[in-house]
Amino acid sequence: MKNSIKNIFESERGLLLLPFVSLGTPNTQINKQAIIAMDKNGANIIELGIPYSDPVADGPVIQDAYNKAIKNGVNIRKAFKILMNLKGKIKSPIIVFIYYNQLLNYGINKFLEKLIQLEVQGIIVPDLPYDESQILKKKCTINNIALISLIALTSSFSRIKKIARNAEGFLYLISKTGVTGGTGKLMNKLKIIIKTIQKLTSKPVVVGFGINSRRQIKQLIEWNSNGIVIGSPCVQILLQSSKEVCVIKLSGLIKQIKESTSSTSN
């Protein structure tokens, strides 16, 4: 399986868009339609979260989506069925967002074998510390699956250096302390860390957690970020809109964000 994350960053100009939705929200059929719609309307890479009962890195919107999906019977196996139904229907590389206990309980080798079958290009494990990730990283590398590393605003220079120089795919820079979602002005420290990472590695820097405004997008373009993750706003549409219009609304949001990344960078 050829990993296309690198190709996307090399071939696309400007700020790349990486939307996130939880698998199975609001139901499996509409979820599939929503993911296809994101792909058609400007997503460069798509992040998909596997529902979990204790998502410590996620804010209330994504927690709510996970809880509702679990009540509807969505587990890893059903998440894989959704992914199987997407094969050949989208062009964007897929990255799966999963917690470490889920991975252990399912079986790491079995999980990675399934990702290969499903042509998933990357994996994010938000609660797995970098220093404890080397065994998983080795297994991912053998299977040409990028284990995406996260960097926090509180990381020391030595830690940033270690993570940046061993990164796969891209670096996921967390824009704030705490969980996903929320609003607020981006901290100037983010600009410094982006610059620091880009001096240490040629791997792209993608910023996520709490990105939801045109002003933030403009700042991140000025600070030379390579991509943004938009999660809670996408999930919120699937949770709060009627089933008849949520895919249309999500398509509109993705188009709007994509236009912002293009027009603001001109």
Per-residue pLDDT of the chain (266 residues; tens, 9 = 90+): 445 899 999 998 889 999 999 999 999 999 999 999 999 999 999 999 999 998 888 889 999 999 999 999 999 999 999 999 999 999 999 999 999 999 999 999 999 999 999 999 999 999 999 999 999 999 999 999 999 999 999 999 999 999 999 999 999 999 876 545 455 567 788 999 999 999 999 999 999 988 888 889 999 999 999 999 999 999 999 998 887 899 999 999 999 999 988 755 54
Give, in degrees to the nearest 5, the angle at Cα 45 between 98 and 58: 35
Q: What pLDDT does residue 263 have? A: 56
Q: What pLDDT does residue 185 have? A: 61
CA distance 228 to 225: 8
Note the Cα 119 to chain centre separation in Å: 16
Strands 149-151 and 146-147: what pairing?
unpaired
Q: What pLDDT does residue 188 have? A: 85
H or E segment to which residue 28 belongs: helix 28-40
Question: Any idea which fold 5-263 has?
Answer: TIM Barrel (3.20.20)
Helix and strand counts by DSSP (H, E) for the chain = 12, 9
Determine contact, residues 152/190, Cβ cutoff 8 Å. no
Q: Would you call 163 helix, strand, or coil by DSSP?
A: helix
Annotated domain spans of the chain: 5-263
- Closest by Cα among 82, 73, 63 to 23: 82
State the catalytic residues.
Answer: 47, 58
What pTM does this model have? 0.93
Q: What pLDDT does residue 24 have? A: 95
Q: What pLDDT does residue 266 have? A: 46
Distances (CA, A) of 263 to 19, 215, 257, 258: 18, 12, 10, 9
Residue that is written with structure tokens 């290969």 in the block: 116
